[in-house]
Amino acid sequence: MTLPASYDLEIAGLRRSLPLFRVQPDLAIAVLNILGDTELVEVSARQLAVRLAEHDYAVLVTAEAKSIPLVHALSVHSGRPYVVLRKSYKSYMGDALQAQTVSITTGAPQMLYLDSKDRALLSGSRIVLVDDVVSTGSTLTGMRALMSQADAHVVGVAAICTEGDASQWQEVIALAHLPLFPSRKDGAMTP
C-alpha cells in the first residue's frame, strides 16, 4: 500500500485535509498548520475554552510560532492573558530563562526563552500550556522546565491535536488525535 497524500481531520464539524510530510526515512506525519486558517483557529479556541472552563488557571503559555494564533484566540475566549516562549533570544528580553527542546518537524535542538518581562506574571501562577499538536512531548518538556524555573505551576495542557501513541497523551485536553504514518523510503506503507 502506498503512503496516502493526505489525512482528513475534523474538528467540531470543520474538515481539513492535512498533507503528509516525511520527518524520517521511515515515518511521515500529517501536518497541521493553523497559520492563516482563522476559521480553524476560532473553532479550536472556542472548543478548548469550553473544555478548560472547569480548570483553575491564570495564564496561558505557548511556544513560538505556529500555536500563537491559537493561544491568542484562546486568550480572547477565556479572558486569560498569555505568554509566548520565544525560540531566539533578543537583547530586549533581559535576563531571560531558557530550556532546550527538539521538535519532530525540525529534528534539531532548539532553545525556548522566557522574556524577563513575563517572569513576574508567571511566578506563583497556575498555568495551562498550549500547543497546536503534541507529538513527541519535547516541546512540552522544554515549556515545563521553563515554568519550573519561573516558579509557575502547570495545571493543564491543551492542544488541537495529539499525535502518535494516544495513551501517552491522556493528560492533554485535545480536540482530535493524529496517527503516525510508518512507511518505506519508496513511499509504501509498512504493515
Encode pLDDT of 61-94 as tens digits.
999 889 999 999 999 999 999 999 998 888 888 8
- pLDDT value, residue 191: 40
The answer to whether position 107 is within a domain reads: yes
Contacts of 137 (CB under 8 A, 6+ apart): 168
Domain of residue 70, residue span: 35-177
Q: Is residue 4 part of a domain?
A: no
For residue 187, being part of any structural domain is answered with: no
- % of residues, the chain, pLDDT over 70: 91
Which residues lie closer than 8 Å to 64 by C-beta, 6 or more apart?
Answer: 84, 85, 86, 87, 112
The identity of residue 112, as a single letter, is L
Number of domains in the chain: 1
State the average pLDDT for the chain.
89
Kindly state whether residue 13 falls inside one of the protein's structural domains.
Answer: no
- Residue 184 placed within a domain: no
Residue 45 within a domain:
yes
- Specify whether the CB–CB gap between 28 and 184 falls below 8 A: no
Residues of the chain with pLDDT under 50: 191
Q: Does residue 15 lie in a domain region?
A: no
Task: List all residues 6 or more positions away from 107 whose beta carbon is below 8 Å from its beta carbon.
Answer: 23, 24
- Quick check: is 72 in a domain? yes
Reported as type and span, the H/E element at residue 46 is helix 38-52
- For 166-171, the CB contacts below 8 A with 24+ separation are 168/137, 169/134
The model's pTM: 0.90
Whole-number Cα distances in Å, 171 to 155, 157, 188 = 10, 7, 33
- The pLDDT, as a whole number, for residue 144 is 95
State residue 125's pLDDT score.
97
CATH code assigned at 150: 3.40.50.2020
Cα of first residue to Cα of last residue in the chain, in angstroms, is 9
Strand ranges for 12-149 from DSSP E: 14-24, 27-30, 59-63, 82-85, 97-102, 109-114, 126-134
